[in-house]
């Protein structure tokens, strides 16, 4: 029997007309009236040779993506009755992901290490993926719960205030990953997802650390899942254009973080370059292509209202207005925050109100998910 742990707001949120409109397809998948994207992808035949060059495979991906998007507009009954191919759109993106792994370019750190041959880059994640936990999450945004959440070990960021530092970074070079997380291949990952569906999950939520270093395993697992369930990408969104191309058609829902309103703060607290440029580029892409069903998580940081919160909200209102925003007030000075006096406290209620008032002025939809 499916058992759902529901918060009252997880039902009430669907009474909000704007939420129903912006998340119409996601809701229809929950109600089994539309089909998850990854299932549709299995009905697109892809004929390629495993020795094909990256360039040839990328060209084929462009062609097949067009075919996929034409198919999406057809009636559900037509899609349901299509043949499923063994070598399909998912086989193609999985193959490309494994090729990228040989010169890793999954995120904009572009370490260019051969992870397929045992090398590791900044994230320290080898060829295999490691899951630290998987469970039915009831603490996510109201439209998402209960969420079948799968936490991957490791991260491509080094945020000094990370609240998950045990799975994201503090283990690096100190502990063997095998001792703290479970090695999980694509079939095992699909089994985990299936179990979460049996327990009542309404989406499969890939998170971490960050899921980015595990794109190859996550894409491979789609070949083995069978339930009509939303696939959700929950990430810092520091993806390269190449790796986002692998995901953009297949994810039904997006849950990107948007922490910093400029590149300087990002470099200072997360050790990454060009953050604002990369994340805004990627957000525009998923807003204008792909499902376009997005909740942006903005974590309000103390003393970062003018430099981060307001520029972020300005960007959202202007460039990606259909995104819903979770204005998060749960920043805590964790991990190494004590070394940075300006963020070594929680944000004040005054700061939170200032951000929410600014979002109101810009007409941003945030209340139902914040």
Shortest distance, position 157 Cβ to ligand SF4, whole Å: 9
Pick the closer one to ligand SF4 by CB: 16 or 120. 120
Rule CB under 6 A: which residues touch ligand SF4? 104-107, 109-111, 113, 121-123, 125, 156, 212-213
Shortest distance, position 361 Cβ to ligand SF4, whole Å: 37
Shortest distance, position 272 Cβ to ligand SF4, whole Å: 10
Pick the closer one to ligand SF4 by CB: 149 or 235. 235
The CA-atom distances, in angstroms, between 368 and each of 13, 142, 147, 173 are: 6, 8, 17, 41
Pick the closer one to ligand SF4 by CB: 68 or 238. 238
Shortest distance, position 190 Cβ to ligand SF4, whole Å: 22
- CA 108, CA 111: separation in Å to the nearest integer? 8
Residue nearest to ligand SF4 (CB): 121
The CA-atom distances, in angstroms, between 236 and each of 13, 206, 233, 258 are: 25, 12, 10, 7
Pick the closer one to ligand SF4 by CB: 172 or 199. 172
Shortest distance, position 96 Cβ to ligand SF4, whole Å: 14
Pick the closer one to ligand SF4 by CB: 137 or 259. 259
Shortest distance, position 124 Cβ to ligand SF4, whole Å: 8
Shortest distance, position 111 Cβ to ligand SF4, whole Å: 3
Pick the closer one to ligand SF4 by CB: 121 or 261. 121
Shortest distance, position 340 Cβ to ligand SF4, whole Å: 23
Pick the closer one to ligand SF4 by CB: 184 or 309. 184
- CA 186, CA 271: separation in Å to the nearest integer? 30
Pick the closer one to ligand SF4 by CB: 281 or 346. 281
């Amino acid at each position: 029997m499916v058992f759902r742990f529901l918060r009252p707001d997880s039902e009430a949120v669907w009474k909000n007309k704007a939420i129903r409109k912006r998340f119409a397809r996601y809701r229809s998948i929950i109600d089994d009236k539309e089909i998850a994207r990854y299932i549709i992808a299995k009905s697109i035949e892809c004929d390629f040779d495993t020795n094909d060059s990256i360039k040839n495979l990328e060209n084929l991906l462009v062609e097949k993506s067009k075919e996929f998007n034409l198919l999406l507009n057809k009636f559900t009954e037509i899609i349901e009755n299509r043949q499923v191919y063994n070598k399909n759109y998912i086989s193609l993106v999985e193959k490309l992901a494994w090729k990228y792994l040989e010169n890793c370019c999954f995120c904009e750190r572009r370490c260019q290490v051969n992870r397929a041959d045992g090398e590791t880059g900044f994230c320290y994640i080898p060829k295999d993926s490691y899951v630290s936990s998987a469970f039915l999450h009831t603490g996510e945004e109201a439209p998402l719960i209960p969420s079948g959440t799968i936490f991957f070990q490791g991260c491509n960021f080094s945020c000094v205030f990370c609240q998950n530092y045990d799975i994201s970074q503090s283990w690096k070079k100190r502990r063997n990953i095998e001792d703290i997380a479970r090695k999980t291949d694509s079939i095992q990952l699909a089994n985990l997802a299936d179990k979460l569906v049996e327990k009542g999950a309404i989406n499969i939520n890939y998170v971490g650390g960050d899921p980015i270093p595990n794109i190859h395993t996550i894409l491979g697992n789609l070949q083995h899942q069978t339930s009509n369930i939303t696939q959700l990408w929950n990430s810092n969104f520091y993806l390269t254009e190449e790796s986002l191309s692998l995901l953009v058609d297949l994810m039904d829902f997006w849950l990107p973080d948007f922490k910093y309103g400029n590149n300087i703060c990002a470099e200072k607290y997360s050790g990454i370059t060009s953050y604002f440029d990369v994340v805004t580029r990627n957000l525009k892409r998923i807003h204008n292509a792909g499902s376009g069903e997005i909740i942006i998580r903005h974590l309000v940081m103390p003393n970062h209202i003018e430099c981060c919160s307001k520029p972020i909200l300005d960007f959202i209102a202007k460039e990606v207005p259909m995104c819903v925003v979770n204005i998060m007030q749960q920043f805590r000075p964790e991990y190494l925050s004590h070394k940075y006096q300006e963020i070594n406290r929680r944000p004040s209620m005054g700061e939170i109100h200032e951000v929410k008032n600014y979002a109101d002025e810009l007409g941003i939809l945030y209340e139902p998910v914040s």
